[in-house]
Structure 1
Amino acid sequence: MKKVLIVDDEKIIRYFIKNLLEPHFEILEAENQKTCKEVLQANKIDIVILDLKLPDNDSIFELLNYIVKKFPKIKTLILSGIYDENISKEALSLGAKGYLLKTDAEQQLVNILKNMQLPQEIEIKSEGFKMEIGGKTNSIFIPEAPEYQRIYELALKTLSAGLNILIEGETGTGKGFLAQYLHKKLCADAPIITLNCGAI
């Protein structure tokens, strides 16, 4: 069975991608650059799904460059919360095999993995998540767990009433998912600005 390494500092993203790919692949995880390198050294990895913006990266393409140079046989897919044409082009020119948006990862993964001629029949299911659809650019996965549903409903009602919301929580608890959900529900035509304060 081929091995996939998911590299993202958000636990909920790793959980989501892991659910999509099992049982077709053996899944390994890393939350930062240091752990990623350790996993790569200790295992024969076939595919890396990589978030470029990790807290211990000195530069956005540092880890991608490392993987491409040290492990040229590994196929690396970039995972991003927002689409940036310049970053996408640069990543592909450096050796990445694809650029995935977190909000549209399910279908993109199916297409890319089939093009890689990996498992011939790939049926990807996002158990634990459901998809709110509003066109390709307005699709987002939200957790189905009752606790998350209550939080999403309360946040949407609060924001709909004209009040401001401050989303707090530990890394990997889904703050970004909630922010994108609220944005797409109430102001999808306006821009959303994402800033990783921990990386500043």
Structure 2
Amino acid sequence: MSKPRVLVVDDEREVGVFFRHLLQEHYEVLVAATGREMQELLRTQRFDLTLLDLKLPDSDGLDLLADLKKRCPACRVVIMTGYGTVQHTLAALRLGAEEYLEKPFAEVEALEKLIHRLAPPVSVTTAEAGLPVGEKGGEEGELFVGQSPLMRQLLARAAAVAPTTLPVLIEGETGSGKEVLARFIHRRSRRPGPFWGVNCAAFSDSLLGSELFGHERGAFTGAGQARCGVLELAGTGTLLLDELGEAGPQLQVLLLRVLETRQFTRLGGEQLRPFAARVLATTNRDIRAAVREGRFRTDLYYRLSAVTLQVPPLRRRREDLPALVEYILRQRLDVPVTGISRPALKLLQEYDWPGNVRELLYVLARAAVHSGGGTIMPGHLQLPWGEPEQSACSYLPSSPAPVSSPAAPAGTVGQVLRRALEQYLDSLSPDQLPDLPAGLQELRQLQEHFARRVVRRALEQCGNCRQQAAERLNLTPRQLRYYLQEK
């Protein structure tokens, strides 16, 4: 993977030389001495970070900043000035700058840390983010891309609470970035220990208890040796309870006891062990409704919700989507592309993204492969069929509502689809054949869409009672949530 690219814009030659020597190991550094040189570079190249002097001989730094954020909204910007005023600093921050530096630079180590935080070097991204080996780092960048007021307010609150020891409850839909925000809070907290997370929806209560508390040898059948749980492994770092709303009643009692006493014992053990980690929790469910219905303990809810953060769904910050697309295409994909066409971007902006940023990442990754490394066109996107208001084909003229509903086709779902596919194949000319991998992918997407539509229709018919809807569809409540993409 190529190094992150840094643009230094300063008319003092010594500043450019300084940054070249400081950053050359982990970054590709280009230097512009004037506003005009900066504009020339931006016409042909893209950067991850720009260090911009406000005072240039031929340009106003604030004008250059505004133009930079229009051309490359995903680029992080640090303002440099030897003539700092409060008015200039506030104006720069309003235009999208994230930090400002006063010259001369007094603390080189602090300067390096700032640059590494805003544009993590490839060689240290995984270690710094605390990600498992092999997982691609730098995903926190998704939080900082764009200018929507919702995300700016969220990040400001997260940054303010990060240095404290308060528990934080992060709410949001599947794929919206709850765990990414939790990692951001951990890194900003500067806690000396690691980041450990456990997905409460991935285990049964008994297995989740062992995962959290650990166990002693012989605690249960198959426990051949003692094992540390994540309460122990988190040490003085951060423990993330992911999808906490899935935890059962017995486990809720045990977690409450740990939070109250800051102590725990392994399963099958007697020795009290200290619990020193900071606790963060995420949920894609309405915890307050679960409390009202008696499915989640009130005292545990209040323990964990000292601070509550809401991650907005992607459809509520559509203004960030162009910048997010640019960021993902440049930073998160293994297949490089030359860009995305305006019609394709328009389709992305019209879609409602039930899977949020995670779904956007998968759609763009698939489109990059189908584009062959070129420009992503509408046909490469293969967006799943959505609800009428979510359709990626909403640019097509809508037809008037029929006077009466057509009769349902005879046969099972499989028989109806088989007849439709046969009609489609019969309509092709002898020399026409469909793209088989793309066609199979579309069928898988159609299957997911069909399941969601059936579940939503059942909920409408059952007055939104999930238990009744699940029984009518021969599903468990957990399976019903899965098909609603509440995994």
TM-score range, shorter chain: 0.5 to 0.7
Q: Given the alignment, which residue of 4, 7, 27 partners 1:5?
A: 7
Is the contact between residue 79 and residue 101 of structure 1 (CA under 8 Å) also seen in structure 2?
Answer: yes
Give the secondary structure class of the aligned counterpart of 2:104.
Answer: helix
- Counterpart residue type for residue 75 of structure 1: R
CA RMSD of the aligned region, Å? 1.8
Q: How does 1:145-160 map to 2 (within 5 A)?
A: none
Is the contact between residue 4 and residue 119 of structure 2 (CA under 8 Å) also seen in structure 1?
Answer: no
How far residue 60 of structure 1 moved from its aligned partner, in angstroms, is 4.1
Is the contact between residue 52 and residue 61 of structure 2 (CA under 8 Å) also seen in structure 1?
Answer: no
Q: How does 1:25-44 map to 2 (within 5 A)?
A: 25-44=27-46
How far residue 103 of structure 1 moved from its aligned partner, in angstroms, is 1.8
Q: Given the alignment, which residue of 11, 18, 21 partners 2:20?
A: 18
Q: Where do 5+ consecutive residues of structure 2 fail to align?
A: 126-487
How far residue 117 of structure 1 moved from its aligned partner, in angstroms, is 5.8
Give the secondary structure class of the aligned counterpart of 1:61.
Answer: helix
How far residue 24 of structure 1 moved from its aligned partner, in angstroms, is 1.0
Q: How does 1:13-92 map to 2 (within 5 A)?
A: 13-57=15-59, 59-92=60-93
TM-score of the superposed pair, with normalisation by structure 2: 0.24
Q: How does 1:106-117 map to 2 (within 5 A)?
A: 106-116=108-118
- Counterpart residue type for residue 37 of structure 2: T
Q: Which has the higher contact order (CA 8 A, sep 6+)?
A: 1
**Structure 2: how far apart are the matches of 1:56 and 1:103?**
22
Of residues 74-83 and 24-33 in structure 1, the stretch that sits farther from structure 2 once superposed is: 74-83
Q: How does 1:47-196 map to 2 (within 5 A)?
A: 47-57=49-59, 59-104=60-105, 106-116=108-118, 118-119=120-121, 120=124
**Structure 2: how far apart are the matches of 1:78 and 1:108?**
15
Give the secondary structure class of the aligned counterpart of 2:97.
Answer: coil
Is the contact between residue 5 and residue 45 of structure 1 (CA under 8 Å) also seen in structure 2?
Answer: yes
How far residue 75 of structure 1 moved from its aligned partner, in angstroms, is 0.8
Alpha-carbon displacement from aligned partner over 1:106-148 (angstroms, at most 9, x marks no partner)? 2342232243261237xxxxxxxxxxxxxxxxxxxxxxxxxxx
**Structure 2: how far apart are the matches of 1:96 and 1:20?**
22
Distance 1:108 1:94, change over 3 A: farther
How far residue 47 of structure 1 moved from its aligned partner, in angstroms, is 0.8
Is the contact between residue 18 and residue 27 of structure 1 (CA under 8 Å) also seen in structure 2?
Answer: yes
Q: 1:177: which partner in 2? A: none
Q: 2:438: which partner in 1? A: none
**Structure 2: how far apart are the matches of 1:2 and 1:115?**
12
Give the secondary structure class of the aligned counterpart of 1:45.
Answer: coil
Of residues 105-114 and 65-74 in structure 1, the stretch that sits farther from structure 2 once superposed is: 105-114
Distance 1:70 1:117, change over 3 A: closer
**Structure 2: how far apart are the matches of 1:61 and 1:73?**
17
**Structure 2: how far apart are the matches of 1:15 and 1:117?**
19
Alpha-carbon displacement from aligned partner over 1:135-182 (angstroms, at most 9, x marks no partner)? xxxxxxxxxxxxxxxxxxxxxxxxxxxxxxxxxxxxxxxxxxxxxxxx
- Counterpart residue type for residue 18 of structure 2: F
TM-score of the superposed pair, with normalisation by structure 1: 0.55
Is the contact between residue 48 and residue 119 of structure 2 (CA under 8 Å) also seen in structure 1?
Answer: no
Is the contact between residue 3 and residue 47 of structure 1 (CA under 8 Å) also seen in structure 2?
Answer: yes
Q: How many residue pairs align between the two structures?
A: 120
**Structure 1: how far apart are the matches of 2:116 and 2:78?**
13
Give the secondary structure class of the aligned counterpart of 2:101.
Answer: strand
How far residue 48 of structure 1 moved from its aligned partner, in angstroms, is 0.8
Q: 1:147: which partner in 2? A: none
How far residue 89 of structure 1 moved from its aligned partner, in angstroms, is 1.7
How far residue 87 of structure 1 moved from its aligned partner, in angstroms, is 1.4
**Structure 2: how far apart are the matches of 1:56 and 1:94?**
20
**Structure 2: how far apart are the matches of 1:107 and 1:78?**
18
Is the contact between residue 81 and residue 102 of structure 2 (CA under 8 Å) also seen in structure 1?
Answer: yes
Query: Which structure: greater helix fraction?
Result: 2
Is the contact between residue 11 and residue 33 of structure 2 (CA under 8 Å) also seen in structure 1?
Answer: yes
**Structure 2: how far apart are the matches of 1:30 and 1:117?**
19
Is the contact between residue 49 and residue 119 of structure 2 (CA under 8 Å) also seen in structure 1?
Answer: no
How far residue 37 of structure 1 moved from its aligned partner, in angstroms, is 0.9
Structure with greater Cα Rg: 2
Q: Where do 5+ consecutive residues of structure 1 fail to align?
A: 122-200
Alpha-carbon displacement from aligned partner over 1:8-66 (angstroms, at most 9, x marks no partner)? 11111111122111111001111111110111121221111100111111x34110110
Is the contact between residue 100 and residue 108 of structure 1 (CA under 8 Å) also seen in structure 2?
Answer: no
Distance 1:89 1:68, change over 3 A: same
**Structure 2: how far apart are the matches of 1:108 and 1:77?**
14
**Structure 2: how far apart are the matches of 1:108 and 1:90?**
24
Percent of aligned pairs with the same amino acid: 33
Alpha-carbon displacement from aligned partner over 1:42-97 (angstroms, at most 9, x marks no partner)? 1221111100111111x341101100112101111111124322211211111001
**Structure 1: how far apart are the matches of 2:61 and 2:54?**
6
